[in-house]
A and B are shown apart, each in its own frame.
Chain A
Amino acid sequence: DIQMTQSPSSLSASVGDRVTITCQASQDISNYLNWYQQKPGKAPKLLIYDASNLETGVPSRFSGSGSGTDFTFTISSLQPEDIATYYCQQYDNLPRTFGQGTKVEIK
């Protein structure tokens, strides 16, 4: 299985701050990476696919980059509604695997 490692596990930032989350794959996955947002008590929501493509309807303050084994997810200006846990997920191989999640809180 491909292991996905996210960091940090949690972070606290102020409204308007730039927030960055990293995701590292245990082997080269090209750009076969997605990012999801999960709010408490809700199902995950697809934000970014193919490492850097914004899903339709997702605000442009969200972005993703990277390829190979190292990926970055950024919120350019944190908003109160962005409080959630964010997961990366690889689709280079089966089984599909997710990172352990990064919980984003407001300072």
Chain B
Amino acid sequence: QVQLQESGPGLVKPSQTLSLTCTVSGGSISSGSYYWSWIRQPAGKGLEWIGRIYTSGSTNYNPSLKSRVTISVDTSKNQFSLKLSSVTAADTAVYYCAREVTMIASEAFDIWGQGTMVTVSS
């Protein structure tokens, strides 16, 4: 079955760019009707949707982060990536990649990575 795995630095300095990659295994990132998403969760807090990419390359971003976020896909590596620029301590969180399945009249995050903790600190 499809599995997702996040990877990237666990520590990023303020003002720098956070970069994470999500590797999809057990299936092709190009097959099916799926959006590939990033979601984050500060410690002890709720879930915040960052954005998503379709395998065509079309993207949607949370307006609250849009000016700093880029999500891209590399179908040859079966991966998609997140870049978040100009980070501050407020960007410290567990970052999840997730698959959003689109069915006839519904959409849901049905598969999640285990999450990766990213701390912004000098």
Residues of A within 8 A of B (CB): 1, 32, 34, 36, 42-46, 49-50, 53, 55, 87, 89, 91, 94-101
Contacts and interface: CB of A to CB of B under 8 A. Distances in A.
Contact of B106 (A36, A49, A99): A49
Interface string B56-69: 00001111100000
Given A95-B62, A98-B46, A43 B96 contact: yes
Contact of B46 (A1, A32, A101): A101
A96 B109 CA distance: 10
Interface in B60-119: 60-64, 96, 98, 100, 105-110, 112-115
Interface of A is mostly: loop
Nearest to A101: B46
Contacts of A94: 60
Nearest to B110: A46
A43 B63 contact: no
B47 interface: yes
B2 to A, nearest CB: 13
A87 B47 contact: yes
Contacts of B47: 44, 87, 89, 98, 101
A43 B60 contact: no
Contacts of A45: 112
Contacts of B64: 95
Contact of A99 (B46, B96, B110, B114): B46
B105 to A, nearest CB: 7
A44 B110 CA distance: 9
Contacts of B108: 34, 46, 49, 55, 91
Interface string B24-57: 0000000000000100000000111100000000
A87 B46 contact: yes
A43 B64 CA distance: 23
Given A43-B112, A43-B115, A44-B112, A91 B46 contact: no
Contacts of A46: 108-110
Contacts of A55: 108, 110
